[in-house]
Chain A
């Protein structure tokens, strides 16, 4: 399986993902351009480029932000999540085309530096209606740039997943900035209910999806806590029969997020948080003897939480025992990668 893993740099799915992504983007741009030229032949080419790329980048960001909660709500959306960073980087590129064209068009060829002009031309910072909305777009673009620049797994490792994740949470800030960028900008000119609806509907969808996903998550956490009963540092989790073969039960005990896997007549427990991007290990599956994360397929051995060589990711492990067919877990963690004997399920 590690052979599988190391050689995967490209694969058919990834190529298809990118091809479909680019195809849909081209479809949008062509439709937009065609209709604009047919219905508004007076548009200047700059306005066409600015509007087509601005709206596309906004729609893509909206879509990216929907993928997370969708995949939490239904695992069949996971393939969308797998290559999300390609979507993200591409969104940045499209947003950058929009931003650069705007800076050239509206701010260059004057007596001051164009970037300075973005900040200093319209100075109604205290007014909501007259706010220099370009500044909001500028900061959103900076955030998208930071995320695109650090999207490689190299940075993920070097910044540590926690930092990386915090950085990537800024995407919500970027989204918020862009909502105002559009509402205080072009909507003030066009004043079309369609453009307002476009932003409003997107925002509503996003918020509802996140609330729904949070609801599901909370319910799951509550169920896990109910299951537990104490004894000598061990908590009773469930009956061994309740865990499907090669799958896991997730429990939340004493602040530890734990995944209890059943495989080959045995049970092992590891930390539930993937070392890659904090994916939910317990929603994964044992494939070729390795726990496989549902998000991007990182793998760990169930008995010691170690990724098979040459990989070095390690999870904390926990003691497990089986008494009368019931699985008990001790939530005090062993250091990452510590080998713990699996509990054997008696026939």
Chain B
């Protein structure tokens, strides 16, 4: 009996081996694209968030540095004589808040920037009506002061609420990453919050719609470090909601009143 024997270092494999390898290869050629297709098609999809990565723009507005850095863009005066603004969230480069770059700018111009009319260069990030602006590099950021004057807008008190939803970092969610939410993104969002990017909350309303708000503590100060462990989980936030121009801000009560990440039932608000 002398059946064929395969030796890898020979130039040619015996016929019977070549035949079976051929079967394996053809099976793979059919199976591999099939697997690719099934995997691709079973993803749940991506939201149409937008990051204008290759498009630098200059925005003119009133600079607010605390507690949530933003540009207030004047929208005009209504018939009652009230001036309206759109707030655009300011964010630094990478996983960092806008503040360090703004501090550098304040030193350079020798003026406190809070409430100043200013022109800044950067890139827009937006989704679902919420707009953020990634500040350009130190060289290109400052495009001069403008004559715009701040009109202190009083926050509108909307009362105490209980919200359920997900804590996110607005930069990734609004456009820099797709997907920019959920478990795979948790570590990244924690990095962003640690970098001072304001905590953002995607609340689900009772009729299934999405409502966005920023999260501060009762005194209106950031609590990113306390919120970090709850990122990407379903959490409950209780607090007073205020409207700041086009933004909602929830002043969360105690950090205890967030739903624990391991989810032992709902904690009701006081």
Interface residues of A (CB under 8 A from B): 4-5, 8, 11-14, 20, 24, 27-28, 31-32, 35-36, 39-40, 42-44, 46-47, 51, 55, 59, 74-80, 82-83, 105-112, 117-118, 121-124, 127, 129-130, 132-134, 184-186, 188-195, 198, 244-247, 284-285, 287, 292, 294-297
- Taking a contact as CB atoms under 8 Å apart, the answer to whether B191 and A110 are in contact is yes
Q: Which of B12-64 contact A (CB under 8 A)?
A: 12-13, 16-18, 20-21, 24-25, 28-29, 32-33, 35-48
What residues on B are CB-neighbors of A247 within 8 Å?
1
- Taking a contact as CB atoms under 8 Å apart, the answer to whether B21 and A191 are in contact is no
- Taking a contact as CB atoms under 8 Å apart, the answer to whether B187 and A117 are in contact is yes
- Taking a contact as CB atoms under 8 Å apart, the answer to whether B7 and A287 are in contact is yes
A-B contact count (CB 8 A): 198
Contacts A122-B186, A186-B184, A296-B9 given; 8 further ones with Cβ under 8 A? A8-B9, A28-B36, A59-B32, A77-B20, A122-B190, A190-B43, A194-B41, A284-B5
CA distance A252 to B13 in the complex (A): 31
- Taking a contact as CB atoms under 8 Å apart, the answer to whether B262 and A32 are in contact is no
What residues on A are CB-neighbors of B188 within 8 Å?
105-107, 121
CA distance A118 to B1 in the complex (A): 59
Is B204 close to A, CB under 8 A?
no
Closest to B93 in A: A109
Asked, given contacts A106-B185, A188-B184, whether A198 binds B2 with beta carbons under 8 Å apart, the answer is no
CA distance A130 to B7 in the complex (A): 49
Is B229 close to A, CB under 8 A?
yes
- Taking a contact as CB atoms under 8 Å apart, the answer to whether B8 and A110 are in contact is no
Query: Chain A CB within 10 Å — which of B13, B39, B42 has the most?
Result: B39
Asked, given contacts A11-B10, A82-B8, whether A188 binds B96 with beta carbons under 8 Å apart, the answer is no
- Taking a contact as CB atoms under 8 Å apart, the answer to whether B191 and A107 are in contact is yes
Please classify how large the interface on chain B is, using the bins under 10, 10 to 19, 20 to 34, 35 or more.
35 or more
CA distance A128 to B238 in the complex (A): 27
21 A-B pairs (CB sep. < 8 Å): A4-B10, A13-B11, A24-B32, A28-B32, A59-B32, A75-B6, A78-B17, A79-B17, A107-B188, A109-B93, A121-B188, A124-B229, A130-B183, A130-B262, A133-B183, A185-B183, A188-B182, A193-B42, A194-B41, A195-B42, A246-B2
- Whole-angstrom distance from the CB of B245 to the nearest CB of chain A? 29
Is B165 close to A, CB under 8 A?
no
- Whole-angstrom distance from the CB of A46 to the nearest CB of chain B? 7
- Taking a contact as CB atoms under 8 Å apart, the answer to whether A194 and B42 are in contact is yes
- Taking a contact as CB atoms under 8 Å apart, the answer to whether B187 and A24 are in contact is no
What residues on B are CB-neighbors of A284 within 8 Å?
5
CA distance A13 to B10 in the complex (A): 7
Closest to A123 in B: B229
Is B121 close to A, CB under 8 A?
no
- Whole-angstrom distance from the CB of B133 to the nearest CB of chain A? 17
Is B261 close to A, CB under 8 A?
yes
Asked, given contacts A47-B178, A79-B6, A245-B2, whether A121 binds B36 with beta carbons under 8 Å apart, the answer is no
Closest to A11 in B: B11
What residues on B are CB-neighbors of A134 within 8 Å?
187
What residues on B are CB-neighbors of A12 within 8 Å?
11-12
- Taking a contact as CB atoms under 8 Å apart, the answer to whether B39 and A32 are in contact is yes
CA distance A83 to B7 in the complex (A): 12
What residues on A are CB-neighbors of B148 within 8 Å?
none
- Taking a contact as CB atoms under 8 Å apart, the answer to whether A77 and B38 are in contact is no
Asked, given contacts A36-B40, A127-B261, A247-B1, whether A117 binds B191 with beta carbons under 8 Å apart, the answer is yes
* Contact among A110, A124, A194 with B38 in the assembled complex (CB-CB below 8 Å): A194
- Taking a contact as CB atoms under 8 Å apart, the answer to whether A32 and B40 are in contact is yes
What residues on B are CB-neighbors of A127 within 8 Å?
261-262
CA distance A130 to B184 in the complex (A): 10
